Amino acid sequence: MENLTRILLLVCFAVLSEGSDLTGSVFTFPTLGRVDHVTLTPAERKPLSQASLCLRFYTDQTTRSPCFFSLATATFTNAFLLCRMEGGFFRIHVGTASADFTGFTYNLNGWNSVCVTWDEEDVSQFFINGQASVRKLTLMRQGWKIPTDHSIIVGQDQDSYGGGFETKNAFIGHLTDVHMWDHVISPCAVQQFMDEMSIQPGNYLNWQSLKFETHGRAKVEKKQFLLTGKQLLNC
Ligand SMILES: [Ca+2]
2 assigned to some structural domain: no
Query: From the CA of 164, how far away is ligand 1's center (Å)?
Result: 7
pLDDT of res. 16: 46
Query: From the CA of 4, how far away is ligand 1's center (Å)?
Result: 48
Query: From the CA of 166, how far away is ligand 1's center (Å)?
Result: 5
Among 48-52, 56-60, 198-202, the minimum mean pLDDT is found in 198-202
Q: How far apart are CA 169 and CA 34, in angstroms?
A: 8
The answer, yes or no, to whether residue 4 has pLDDT greater than 70, is: no
Confidence class for position 234, pLDDT limits 50, 70, 90: low
Residues whose beta carbons lie less than 5 angstroms from ion ligand 1 = 157, 159, 166, 169
3 assigned to some structural domain: no
Q: How far apart are CA 218 and CA 27, in angstroms?
A: 7
What would the pLDDT profile of 88-110 be if each residue is shown by its tens digit? Answer: 999 999 999 999 999 999 999 99
pLDDT of res. 189: 97
Domain that holds residue 147: 20-223
14 assigned to some structural domain: no
Q: Which of 217, 225, 188, 210 is nearest to 37 (CA)?
A: 217
pLDDT of res. 141: 84
pLDDT of res. 12: 40
182 assigned to some structural domain: yes
6 assigned to some structural domain: no
pLDDT of res. 232: 55
58 assigned to some structural domain: yes
209 assigned to some structural domain: yes
Q: How many domains does the chain have?
A: 1
What share of the chain in percent tops pLDDT 90?
82
Higher pLDDT, 154 or 14: 154
pLDDT of res. 94: 96
The answer, yes or no, to whether residue 119 has pLDDT greater than 60, is: yes
User: Residue 95: which CATH number?
Assistant: 2.60.120.200
Beta carbons of 106 and 128 less than 8 angstroms apart: yes
120 assigned to some structural domain: yes
The answer, yes or no, to whether residue 173 has pLDDT greater than 90, is: yes
